[in-house]
């Protein structure tokens, strides 16, 4: 075992060193023990400040005493064992009176600072939290089950928050500084991160983390959560297995990536899939997946690789399907070309409020490619390429729903024609603010049902039967 401590000769001055931290900085905290005895008290603000100051100060002292080059060779448990005596020394030097529980908490928090993301670690480990929103060093909000709430977490100061942000972005080869004050990155588990610092962030650095479940949400679980019905899931399974091209549309935080991950579970394991993303976050379960990620320009403004470059390159990689994390610009044209030239079953997401808006957005993005094409030509490309548009949304009560499944059927003059197959009809709200409504079939049998039947995929006509009293 390596010795993690740095060689250190203590001087008399070191031995007599005292720090400007008051004794008894940790007030006793009663914890719930076995049998349910005791209560847990939320620390007061001054107590929290003391604890935070002590933690950050001890962390700084540890950096001087341990060999940082060896830290990566230890697991978290091994580090806890190795650093325990060092932390005991520092606690003794500072005359801090800590009980067993407080010391264990302190060691955990210091390890979070040393090998993790400091105050964010407990929030990242909490599986009930889906979003972490940091508004400066003093203010942190989290989202649980679609509802935002204030978290007691805070950072020592702006420098502490900046250090955590730098730790996140440097791990994936990104940078954030005054010359490049905002960045998209990801954590090791695939969670999406956006950070923006001064001078653009006026009241302190802003950090947003969109967490992703370690176990991807399947279509079955989405049915359990009432995000869609079993009949809608059966239709989507047939659409994916029948290699129809799909657009998933929705607003920010509406569940587009979750739906894309769930749909990908229906892809045949023998197909070659190429995924293209700005920040890799898709969790495809197939064995044969080639993942590509964009690269920003370096400090000289060179070396950028955007999604359009990757889509073009993907066409040379012999893909069966191309999955584009999100269409934002001119890559929409290359994606349509791929869908029209033998890469059936490809999928992407688009920011839009309705299915028809999604097609209008794609028209605009194709225009960003800088090609001389008439609007009719662009629309004919869209009609030829896209078969199904899935609209997802987040309701006012925080729940996410599949709002509609629509088929692109062709063109009538200059207008793209569509027909809705399933939809969610909202009917009001209850006394708790929960949105009331129901999923319903519109009674329209899709044109692609015949295509799927020729491929051996049969859709029962009962799937499309509307409920009694539909249309009233």
pLDDT at 468 over 50: yes
Task: With beta carbons less than 8 A apart as the criterion, state whether 239 and 388 touch.
Answer: yes
Q: What's the average model confidence in pLDDT over 311-327? A: 91
Does 460 lie in the same domain as 324?
A: yes
Does 389 lie in the same domain as 422?
A: yes
Q: For residue 36, what pLDDT is reported?
A: 44
Task: With beta carbons less than 8 A apart as the criterion, state whether 164 and 154 touch.
Answer: no
Report how far residue 341's alpha carbon sits from residue 152's, in angstroms, rounded to the nearest whole number: 53
Task: With beta carbons less than 8 A apart as the criterion, state whether 292 and 314 touch.
Answer: yes
Task: With beta carbons less than 8 A apart as the criterion, state whether 361 and 352 touch.
Answer: yes
Of 64, 83, 115, the last residue of a domain is: 115
- The lowest-confidence range among 116-130, 242-256, 262-276 is 116-130
DSSP string, 336-396: HHHHHTT-TT-EEEEE-SSHHHHHHHHHHHHHTT-----HHHHHHHHHHH--EEEEEEE-T
Does 270 lie in the same domain as 183?
A: no
Q: Grade residue 32 by pLDDT with cuts at 50, 70 and 90.
A: very low
255 within a domain of the structure (yes/no):
yes
Does 351 lie in the same domain as 223?
A: yes
The pTM of the full predicted model, rounded to 2 decimals, is 0.75
Does 258 lie in the same domain as 128?
A: no
Q: What's the average model confidence in pLDDT over 5-20? A: 45
Does 448 lie in the same domain as 355?
A: yes
* Strand ranges (E), 2-152: 129-135, 140-144, 147-151
Does 335 lie in the same domain as 456?
A: yes
Q: Grade residue 10 by pLDDT with cuts at 50, 70 and 90.
A: very low
Of 214, 243, 272, the last residue of a domain is: 214
Q: Grade residue 45 by pLDDT with cuts at 50, 70 and 90.
A: low
DSSP string, 56-93: HHHHHHHHHHB-GGGGGGS-HHHHHHHHHHHHHHHHHH
CATH code, domain with 447: 3.40.50.300
pLDDT at 236 over 90: yes
Q: What's the average model confidence in pLDDT over 383-400? A: 93
Task: With beta carbons less than 8 A apart as the criterion, state whether 431 and 440 touch.
Answer: no
369 within a domain of the structure (yes/no):
yes
Does 156 lie in the same domain as 83?
A: no
pLDDT at 1 over 50: no
110 within a domain of the structure (yes/no):
yes
Of 164, 191, 214, the last residue of a domain is: 214
Task: With beta carbons less than 8 A apart as the criterion, state whether 181 and 162 touch.
Answer: no
pLDDT at 146 over 80: no
Q: Which domain holds residue 82?
A: 47-115
Q: What's the average model confidence in pLDDT over 399-426? A: 94
Does 364 lie in the same domain as 228?
A: yes
256 within a domain of the structure (yes/no):
yes
2 within a domain of the structure (yes/no):
no
42 within a domain of the structure (yes/no):
no
pLDDT at 21 over 50: no
Does 287 lie in the same domain as 260?
A: yes
Percent of the chain with pLDDT over 70: 85
311 within a domain of the structure (yes/no):
yes
pLDDT at 378 over 60: yes
Query: Tens of pLDDT along 172-220?
Result: 777 888 888 888 887 877 788 999 998 899 989 999 998 877 677 889 9
Q: For residue 70, what pLDDT is reported?
A: 62
Question: For the chain, how many structural domains are there in total?
Answer: 3
The more confident residue out of 6 and 259 is 259
Tokens found for residue 85: 């005596």
- The lowest-confidence range among 106-120, 206-220, 330-344, 389-403 is 106-120
CATH code, domain with 186: 3.30.450.370
Does 263 lie in the same domain as 186?
A: no
21 within a domain of the structure (yes/no):
no
pLDDT at 323 over 90: yes
Does 103 lie in the same domain as 190?
A: no
């Amino acid at each position: 075992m390596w010795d993690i401590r740095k060689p250190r000769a203590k001087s008399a001055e070191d031995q007599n060193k005292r720090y400007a931290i008051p004794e008894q900085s940790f007030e006793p905290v009663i914890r719930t023990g076995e049998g349910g005895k005791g209560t847990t008290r939320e620390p007061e603000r001054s107590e929290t400040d003391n604890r935070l100051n002590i933690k950050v100060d001890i962390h700084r002292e540890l950096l001087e005493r341990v060999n940082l080059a060896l830290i990566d060779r230890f697991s978290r448990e091994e580090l806890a064992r190795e650093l325990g005596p060092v932390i005991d020394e520092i606690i003794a030097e500072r005359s801090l009176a800590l009980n067993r529980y407080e010391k264990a908490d302190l060691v955990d928090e210091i390890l979070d600072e040393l090998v993790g993301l400091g105050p964010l670690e407990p929030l990242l480990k909490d599986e009930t939290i889906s979003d972490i929103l940091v508004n400066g060093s003093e203010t942190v909000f989290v989202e649980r089950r679609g509802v935002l709430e204030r978290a007691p977490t805070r950072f020592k100061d702006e420098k502490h928050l900046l250090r955590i942000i730098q730790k996140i972005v440097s791990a994936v080869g990104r940078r954030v500084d005054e010359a490049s004050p905002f960045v998209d990155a990801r954590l090791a588990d695939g969670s999406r991160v956006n950070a923006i610092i001064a001078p653009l962030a006026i009241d302190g650095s802003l950090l947003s983390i969109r967490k992703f479940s370690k176990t991807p949400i399947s279509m079955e679980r989405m049915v359990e959560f009432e995000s869609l019905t079993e009949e809608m899931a059966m239709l989507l399974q047939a659409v994916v297995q029948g290699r129809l091209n799909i657009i998933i549309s929705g607003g920010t935080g509406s569940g587009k990536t979750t739906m894309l991950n769930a749909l990908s579970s229906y892809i045949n394991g023998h197909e070659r899939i190429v995924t293209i993303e700005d920040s890799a976050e898709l969790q495809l379960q197939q064995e044969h997946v080639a993942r590509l990620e964009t690269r920003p320009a370096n400090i000289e403004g060179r070396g950028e690789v955007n999604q359009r470059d990757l889509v073009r390159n993907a066409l040379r990689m012999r893909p069966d399907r191309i999955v584009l994390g999100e269409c934002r610009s001119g890559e929409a044209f290359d994606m349509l070309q791929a869908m029209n030239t033998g890469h059936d079953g490809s999928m992407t997401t688009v920011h839009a409020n309705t299915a028809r808006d999604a097609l209008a957005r794609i028209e605009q993005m194709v225009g960003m490619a800088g090609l001389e094409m008439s609007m009719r030509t662009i629309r004919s490309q869209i009609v030829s390429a896209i078969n199904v548009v899935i609209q997802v949304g987040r309701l006012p009560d925080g729940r996410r729903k599949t709002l509609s499944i629509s088929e692109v059927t062709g063109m009538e003059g200059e207008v793209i024609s569509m027909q809705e197959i399933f939809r969610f009809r909202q009917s009001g709200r209850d006394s708790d603010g929960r949105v009331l409504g129901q999923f319903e079939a519109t009674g329209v049998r899709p044109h692609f049902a015949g295509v799927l039947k020729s491929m051996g995929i049969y859709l029962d006509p009962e799937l499309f039967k509307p409920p009694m009293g539909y249309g009233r």
